[in-house]
A and B are shown apart, each in its own frame.
Chain A
Amino acid sequence: MKFWQRAYLSILLLFILFFYSSIFLVSNFAYRTSLNSERERSFGEASFISASLGRDLSVSLQNDGDTSSDVYSFFRRYADFYKSQDIYLELWKNDFFLIGNIPDSPIKKYDTNSEEQKSIIVEYGSKKYLLVASSFLCDSDSYTLIYTHDLEGFTQEHNALSQFLMLSGAALAALLAVGLYFLLRRLSKPIENLDEATGCIADGDYSMRVPVHGKDEFAALARHFNSMADEIEGKIHELQTTAGQKQRFIDNLAHELRTPLTAIRGYAEYLKNANIDEDDKIASIDYIISEAVRIEEMTNKLLDLALLRNNVLETAEIDLPELFNAVSDKMRPKFSEKNITLETSCELSAITGDRVLLECLLNNLLDNAIKASDDGATVQLVALLENGETIINIRDFGRGMTEEHLNKLTEPFYRVDKARSRSEGGAGLGLALCEQIAELHKAKLTFSSEIEKGTMVKITFTTP
């Protein structure tokens, strides 16, 4: 059973219990009160009737000395008069029944001296009567007048009231049931939302969030839950990215090894089985050697990457213009091969870092710039100070690349144009290496590029 259903039933049952208890108490109290006043009235009337009857009898006694026949006619006068008011009378003389008009009366002597017997409720036939006895003396005879008031009307009135209370109670309970249903559904909505969201997340949909309304505990819970879901989603995403990168790394490594190995195996088989001349043999052996060198270079770079990851930097003050000169000297053959002009500009005199690694970084980036450029183009190498940070920019005006490539550039083996750069001799590890070097120097590599307009690599050193 759901929480709201449990709450609903409990509240409804409690309400009905308390409400009907109150109705019962109230109606009981009302009944007693009105019965008491009824009793008072009956006492009053009974005393009045017995007093009047007593008086009438005394008068008649003084007049003719005998009362035995007059008693009946007097009594009948009173009895007939009160009958219309649902009041019935009975007269006893010295413990003997004289006359009465009470329907279904058992003609029974009541002990009128006892306090409790002064007013009792009796049942004659199927009717209830309030019975009051009142005594008077006349001519040394003791008379007792039994006064009974039919309680039917009174009971009916009471029953009508009770019925009204019961019915209005039921109506209120029904109203409460409906109101409570909507209220509880509304109040328990946040729990349902939470339940739904946790279910979704448990099933692996980490993008699920709970709507937050108001400022109560549920809202706080929902907010906390959402931030927890954010955290989990972020972590999962991170894990997926890393796993994806690792998978790509392994795929790529396998692929990078496959191509030269296919060639090596193919040429070896060719040498072994084919009917060929000396020149052919030498050419084949040359291919085997160059492919082996390719694998060697790649493994060296991979090793560099692995070593750099655990490396502690040996930093020193480096003369930046001198570093630029050294790099451009070293790269000169590659520049002149494609007839590319290298423009250098250095506004800074020195930089702190590992000279060998920084040279490697610049070499790699310039190499990429050359590969991206057309013959006769220009490549810029600029060092400058921007907002107190040392910046080195390498810019080419070559092919450029689309946005989607920029994020993956530094992944090992990632190539923008897979086939082209392989034919140009790259293993796709250069930028991965560059990023490692930059990271060691607490520097950041940012790439911006536009198709057919060129690419700019910005190295931002956070430490001077």
Chain B
Amino acid sequence: MAHILVVEDDQSINELIVRNLKLVGHSFLQAFNGIEAVKIALENPVDLILLDVMLPGIDGFEVIKKIPPTPVIYITAKDGLEHKLNGLSLGADDYMVKPFEMLELLARIEAVLRRTQKNNTVFSLDNAVIDLTSRKAQVGGMEIDLSPREFELLEVLINNRNIALSRDKLLELAWGYDYAGETRTVDTHIQKLRSKLGWETRIKTLYKLGYRLEV
């Protein structure tokens, strides 16, 4: 998937982000201060930088001026408007205000990557090959039919693989906030995906948690 540089001076939060990135299949680099971040970004081209604004040495806004243009999501502790404006006018693609939910961060990362990455994103597991860009799925070389809603759900599962998603969360992510359906709908769609893709063991049902695509 993508190669991401995580710049955050707080050890525990840096680790947390990195662990979650690892779960959904991204590779990563870590930096704990501004100078280190600039050094790493200059030596290693990355697809995206997650950049804390308040950094020891030089701050996030300074870092972005010193490196070649790269997609960036700022992470700030203060939700002051000036910070947002400053960040976005400096070529930020998005920003996150602490404290944030990891699923939210992952979703933003996917969105930015989809906007900025030109190559096709293809995910394959077992016999199934899913092209997220052209929205087509094949099993054993044979194209299969997926309803738009099924594909939405599949995309959510792939983007958050290895993370358990509750039925409510899946409804929210794949159907949208305003969908007033029942969680039973999720179950039937999951069943269809399992049988269509041959992922009976891949999409696990977790007691009290929901579903998880395990890779």
B162–A274 CB distance below 8 A: yes
Which of B99-107, B108-116, B145-153 contacts its partner? B99-107
Q: Which of B13, B32, B33 contacts A266 (CB 8 A)?
A: B13
B23–A287 CB distance below 8 A: no
Chain B residues within 8 Å of A269, by CB: 101-102
Residues of A within 8 A of B (CB): 255, 258-263, 265-267, 269-270, 272-276, 280, 283-284, 287, 290-291, 417-420, 422-423
Chain A: CB-nearest residue to B101: A269
B201 within 8 A of A: no
0 or 1 for each of B43-64: is its CB under 8 Å from A? (1 = yes): 0000000001011110100000
Q: Closest CB-CB distance, A413 to chain B, in whole Å?
A: 12
Q: Which of A273, A280, A287, A422 contacts B209 (CB 8 A)?
A: A273
Q: Is the interface of A mostly helix, strand, loop or mixed?
A: helix
Chain B residues within 8 Å of A287, by CB: 12, 15-16
Chain B residues within 8 Å of A261, by CB: 99
Q: How far is the CA of A309 from the CA of B10 in the complex (A)?
A: 32
Q: Closest CB-CB distance, A249 to chain B, in whole Å?
A: 15
Q: How far is the CA of A430 from the CA of B162 in the complex (A)?
A: 43
B165–A273 CB distance below 8 A: yes
Q: Closest CB-CB distance, A167 to chain B, in whole Å?
A: 76
B135 within 8 A of A: no
Chain A residues within 8 Å of B78, by CB: 255
Chain B: CB-nearest residue to A294: B12
A280–B19 CB distance below 8 A: yes
Q: How far is the CA of A417 from the CA of B9 in the complex (A)?
A: 13
Contact status of A291 and B99, CB under 8 A, knowing A272-B209, A273-B164, A423-B56: no
B99–A422 CB distance below 8 A: no
Q: How far is the CA of A419 from the CA of B14 in the complex (A)?
A: 14
Q: Which of A262, A284, A291 contacts B98 (CB 8 A)?
A: A262
Chain A residues within 8 Å of B15, by CB: 283, 287
Contact status of A259 and B102, CB under 8 A, knowing A417-B56, A422-B10: no
0 or 1 for each of B155-172: is its CB under 8 Å from A? (1 = yes): 000000011110000000
Chain A residues within 8 Å of B23, by CB: 274-276
User: Chain B interface residue count: which class?
Assistant: 20 to 34
Chain A residues within 8 Å of B165, by CB: 273
Chain B residues within 8 Å of A276, by CB: 19, 23, 162
A275–B212 CB distance below 8 A: yes
B32–A423 CB distance below 8 A: yes
B54–A419 CB distance below 8 A: yes
Chain A residues within 8 Å of B19, by CB: 270, 274, 276, 280, 284
B212–A273 CB distance below 8 A: yes
Q: Closest CB-CB distance, A163 to chain B, in whole Å?
A: 81
- Give the one of A258, A266, A269, A270 with max B CB within 10 A: A266
B163–A419 CB distance below 8 A: no
B56–A258 CB distance below 8 A: no
Chain A residues within 8 Å of B9, by CB: 419, 422-423
Chain B residues within 8 Å of A291, by CB: 12
Chain A: CB-nearest residue to B10: A259
Q: 26 A-B contacts, Cβ less than 8 Å apart?
A: A258-B99, A261-B99, A262-B13, A263-B12, A263-B13, A263-B16, A265-B101, A266-B16, A266-B20, A267-B12, A269-B101, A270-B19, A272-B164, A272-B209, A274-B20, A274-B163, A275-B23, A275-B212, A284-B19, A287-B12, A419-B55, A419-B56, A419-B59, A422-B9, A423-B11, A423-B56
Q: How far is the CA of A259 from the CA of B19 in the complex (A)?
A: 17
Q: Closest CB-CB distance, A111 to chain B, in whole Å?
A: 112
0 or 1 for each of B164-194: is its CB under 8 Å from A? (1 = yes): 1100000000000000000000000000000
B94 within 8 A of A: no
Q: How far is the CA of A272 from the CA of B214 in the complex (A)?
A: 14
Q: Which of A262, A272, A273 contacts B100 (CB 8 A)?
A: A262
A258–B12 CB distance below 8 A: no
B67 within 8 A of A: no
B122 within 8 A of A: no
Q: Closest CB-CB distance, B68 to chain A, in whole Å?
A: 24
Q: How far is the CA of A266 from the CA of B103 in the complex (A)?
A: 10
A420–B56 CB distance below 8 A: yes
Q: Which of B10, B16, B214 contacts A275 (CB 8 A)?
A: B214
Chain B: CB-nearest residue to A263: B12
Q: How far is the CA of A270 from the CA of B20 in the complex (A)?
A: 8
Q: How far is the CA of A15 from the CA of B22 in the complex (A)?
A: 100
Q: Closest CB-CB distance, B41 to chain A, in whole Å?
A: 18
Chain A residues within 8 Å of B100, by CB: 262
Chain A residues within 8 Å of B102, by CB: 266, 269-270
B77 within 8 A of A: yes
Chain B residues within 8 Å of A290, by CB: 12
Which residues from 110 to 135 on chain B have a C-beta closer than 8 Å to any C-beta of chain A? none
0 or 1 for each of B27-51: is its CB under 8 Å from A? (1 = yes): 0000011000000000000000000
- Give the one of A259, A275, A283 with max B CB within 10 A: A275
5 A-B pairs closest in CB distance: A262-B99, A273-B164, A420-B56, A263-B12, A275-B162
